[in-house]
A = this chain, B = another copy of it.
Amino acid sequence: MPEPPVTVDPADWVCPLPLRSTRRIVLGHGGGGVLSEELINNLFLPAFGTASETSRDSALLDVGASRIALTTDSYVVQPLFFPGGNIGHLAVNGTINDLACSGAQPLALTAGFILEEGLELDVLGIIAATMGRAAVDAGTSIVTGDTKVVGKGGADQLFINTAGVGVVPAGVTIGPDRARPGDVIIVSGPIGEHGVAIMSVREGIDFGTVVTTDSAPLHRLVAAMLAASAADGDPGAVHTLRDPTRGGLLAAVVEIARAAAVGIELDEAAIPVPETVASACSFLGLDPLQVANEGKMVAFVDPDHSEAVLAAMRSLPEGADAAVIGRAVAAHPGMAVARTPFGTTRVVERELGEQLPRIC
């Protein structure tokens, strides 16, 4: 007789200390902030026995002589359709961007759908067609999938999971722990648009100008950055890449500061925040530096080659407005500070949970 599957005895599982205060899942556990990190570090990593690589968007694996990146993301954004896009754009571009953060070019994507009984086929059809077109536009494809249906009320319309496999070019070793003091911090364009696009429809607020999502695939931008750094004499000059989604720019840089044990100095006046985003955030009481982006990249680059990398970014539409926004320093490792337009400095910290639930 086959043995029964191994089961974990509930008596053997003890809720780890930092999580005990709630004992239940709260929205903030999915927000990409401090509570998310607590859940990952204290519950998932011990369970999975995986090394503590909390701040990496994808895992690296050896296949023969090649190296692949593997990533997964679920998308639960509400509403499903918003200015400039729908959940299908995020599901494809978001996963491509997680691969790109390891320097990988996308090889293939998977798509897992959880559908609520009663969902209109028109809605599913348009979203699936969007995903297919987004994949083709990015030069990749959705090669396998799965569909589950739950009863009315068992899910909120439609959730999508995409996993992605990418190929990491030989010699590329980009990672959150590779940032080092002196690195120039570059952001690939204006921030805050995706979050404001969602909030404007969710709250039904008219800000005068429509802010559209910035959802875009960034693997070509990354390829151009790597080519520029190699041509400039150092194929390893791009140390760290991160797409600032949930938790925004601040969560991205704080996580890198902690992973690499460097300090970070941001120049607030240099951070590109569109006027429309600034005024919407002001109205809603949000910090634009903590609003989600879906088509932006933060890069930590060796100062000797940052000009070449910046020029390469600006040569592509998705990096046309790239800007230097700060630098990594040896002081205050693990902490980020911002120089305000008034010349003062302030410590910046991630949210405990999230400003905007279900933003992606």
Contacts and interface: CB of A to CB of B under 8 A. Distances in A.
A46 B131 CA distance: 11
B122 A50 contact: no
A141 B44 CA distance: 12
A149 B26 contact: yes
Contacts of A64: 63-66
Which of A40, A43, A110 is most buried by chain B, counting CB atoms within 10 A of its CB?
A110
B167 A133 contact: no
A134 interface: yes
Contacts of A128: 43-44, 47-48
Contact of A25 (B29, B65, B124, B161): B124
Contacts of A142: 48, 50
A308 to B, nearest CB: 21
A25 B115 CA distance: 8
B5 A74 contact: no
Interface stretch (A84-92, A260-268, A334-342): A84-92
Contacts of A56: 144
A144 B71 contact: yes
Contact of A149 (B71, B147, B216, B357): B357
Contact of A2 (B28, B111, B132, B216): B216
A27 B117 CA distance: 6
Given A29-B115, A70-B110, 9 more contacts: A1-B317, A2-B189, A2-B216, A25-B115, A30-B148, A47-B132, A49-B136, A70-B143, A163-B163
19 contacts: A2-B295, A4-B84, A5-B89, A5-B213, A6-B133, A7-B130, A8-B126, A8-B129, A10-B126, A15-B125, A24-B119, A27-B117, A48-B141, A56-B144, A58-B144, A72-B111, A73-B146, A146-B161, A153-B153
Which 9 A/B pairs are nearest by Cβ-Cβ distance?
A30-B149, A163-B163, A72-B110, A47-B128, A59-B143, A64-B66, A161-B161, A59-B144, A154-B156
Interface of A: 1-8, 10, 12-13, 15, 19, 22-31, 36, 39-40, 43-44, 46-50, 56, 58-59, 61, 63-66, 68, 70-76, 84-86, 89, 93, 107-108, 110-122, 124-126, 128-137, 141-151, 153-156, 159, 161, 163, 165, 167, 189, 212-216, 295, 317-318, 320, 357-358
